[in-house]
Amino acid sequence: MKNIFFFDKLFTPMFLVFIYWLCLILTTISSLVTMFAGNFLVGLMALIGGLLGTRICFELLMIAFKNNEYLRRIAEQHSAKPESEK
């Protein structure tokens, strides 16, 4: 319970993974609909651009959460060292 109430564990990265896959599915479906509706080239470009754009955006969001995780590890290692090593 301590993890939940004191933000020791973040749930947002798990939700971001779900939202990422949802965006990929929606981008693929909408691009395929565009392709088969008569605009094949536009749909193909939307598929490639949409998938790449989605990946880049979500990677940028995840970097913030990974930085938080790495900083927490560094702080834990620093606080675990004896005073003579600091």
| Total number of domains in the chain | 1
Residue 24 forms part of a structural domain: yes
How far, in Å, CA of 17 to CA of 60, rounded? 13
Give the model confidence (pLDDT) of 11-42 as tens digits. Answer: 788 889 999 999 999 999 999 999 999 899 99
Residue 71 forms part of a structural domain: yes
Q: Provide the residue count of the chain.
A: 86
Residue 85 forms part of a structural domain: no
Q: Do 20 and 58 form a contact (C-beta atoms < 8 A)?
A: yes
Residue 16 domain boundaries:
2-76
Q: Is the pTM of this model over 0.75?
A: no
Residue 86 forms part of a structural domain: no
The overall longest dimension of the chain from CA atoms, in Å, is: 72
